[in-house]
Amino acid sequence: MKDILKKLPKIELHCHLDGSVRPETMYELLLEEGEDMEDISLEQFEKMAKVVDECNSLVEYLERFSYPLKVMQRKENIERITYELLEDLSKQNVKYVEIRFAPFLFMEKGLSFDESVESVLKGMERAKGDFNILSNAILVCMRHESVEKSIELVEKGEKFLGKGVVAVDLAGAEEGFPPENHKEAFDLAYKKGYNITVHAGETGRYENITKSIELLHAERIGHGIAAIKSPEVMELIKNKNIFLEMCPISNLQTKAVESLDEYPIKEFLDNDILVTVNTDNTTVSNTSLDKEYELLIDGLGFSIEDIIKLIKNSIEATFLPKEEKAHLKRIIENELKNI
């Protein structure tokens, strides 16, 4: 079974760049930055950078991002981190990935908005040549920031639209920061032709899913697990053909669900909801698409056919233009024939 999983052609749609930095690269770059790491071995550091044991909430989970962000303030580091992530994904036969990041988080030591976006795009371009992996970027607005900041992101990001950037997202701690706070920015993004995905219903609030669809124009929802609590929200997701970007291991770590038995993925699929499965953060969550699929197979009784169905949903859910989506579909279907 593991061998088949390895061989499957895959698509990753929900992957944060800052949560997916190789630990050894982070360690090396932290030393370069003059961070006091003297008493910390690489092995110990890995445990600090990943969620390995105790994590009680999304807020605790998000604390892990302070390490990568320390080293993502230089152009060359951002490009390298992007390139390395794509190298790692290509080894798992990921054919296409949408990588998300919040440009403002890379601008604490003087980088401009353009420099931070361009560094990611450069890493993506180089990886495409070297590893034959396709990718696009999603720009992330942070919920705790002001709507003005989100508007600035939408305006400044516009020149990259269709040139490596395909969409905007809203992420960060959900509690206390409702989606409507950012409505003006997402109205603008919609008008400018961005695709839109929003983290919602990750920590219990199903009304945030409705608001993200109706007020923020979301076509995809990050996580969305709280939908299970409301038949109306399930109906809305289904009727509007909204794709869910589910991330099982992350959801267990943030205690979005108490145990795998409570994970509503089967119910969603049985209700014809368009589910995709993703990693969220390969390093912070210490995961990979193979591990996510394995969990569904071992823990929830999924078959390889079920996994292939998820991958096919991911093809449809990509924010690729029509022709490129058709091209990706051909690549995936060709490989599936030989499995």
Which active-site residues does the annotation give?
A: 202
Residue 223 CB, nearest approach to ligand NOS (Å): 7
Contact of residue 208 among ligand NOS, Zn ion, none (CB under 5-8 Å per partner type): none
Q: In whole angstroms, what is the distance from residue 301 CA to residue 86 CA?
A: 30
- Contact region for ligand NOS (CB under 6 A) — 12-20, 108-116, 188-196, 263-271? 12-20
Is 14 marked as binding a ligand? yes
Q: In whole angstroms, what is the distance from residue 130 CA to residue 128 CA?
A: 6
Contact of residue 18 among ligand NOS, Zn ion, none (CB under 5-8 Å per partner type): ligand NOS
Binding-site member from 94, 105, 111, 289 for ligand NOS (CB under 6 A): 105
Nearer to Zn ion, 40 or 173 (CB): 173
18 binds ligand NOS (CB under 6 A): yes
Written in H, E and C, the secondary structure of the chain is CHHHHHHCCEEEEEEECCCCCCHHHHHHHHHHCCCCCCCCCHHHHHHHHCCCCCCCCHHHHHHHHHHHHHHCCCHHHHHHHHHHHHHHHHHCCEEEEEEEECHHHHCCCCCCHHHHHHHHHHHHHHHHHHHCCEEEEEEEEECCCCHHHHHHHHHHHHHHECCCEEEEEEECCCCCCCHHHHHHHHHHHHHHCCEEEEEECCCCCCHHHHHHHHCCCCCEEEECHHHHHCHHHHHHHHHCCCEEEECHHHHHHCCCCCCHHHCCHHHHHHCCCEEEECCECCCCCCCCHHHHHHHHHHHHCCCHHHHHHHHHHHHHHCCCCHHHHHHHHHHHHHHHHCC
Residue 4 CB, nearest approach to Zn ion (Å): 27
- Find out whether 204 and 181 touch, Cβ atoms under 8 Å: no
Q: Which of residues 313-332 bind ligand NOS (CB under 6 A)?
A: none
Nearer to Zn ion, 126 or 205 (CB): 205
Q: Which of residues 188-207 bind ligand NOS (CB under 6 A)?
A: 199, 202
Contact of residue 102 among ligand NOS, Zn ion, none (CB under 5-8 Å per partner type): ligand NOS
280 binds Zn ion (CB under 5 A): yes
Nearer to ligand NOS, 90 or 254 (CB): 254
Contact of residue 140 among Zn ion, ligand NOS, none (CB under 5-8 Å per partner type): ligand NOS
Is 280 marked as binding a ligand? yes
Q: Which of residues 30-69 bind ligand NOS (CB under 6 A)?
A: 58, 62, 65
Closest residue to Zn ion in the complex (CB): 280
Binding-site member from 281, 286, 287, 314 for ligand NOS (CB under 6 A): 281
- Find out whether 299 and 307 touch, Cβ atoms under 8 Å: no
Nearer to ligand NOS, 10 or 199 (CB): 199
Binding site listing? 14, 16, 18, 172, 199, 280
Where do contacts with ligand NOS occur on this chain (CB under 6 A)? 16, 18-19, 58, 62, 65, 100-102, 105, 140, 171-172, 199, 202, 250, 280-281
Binding site listing for substrate? 16, 18, 172
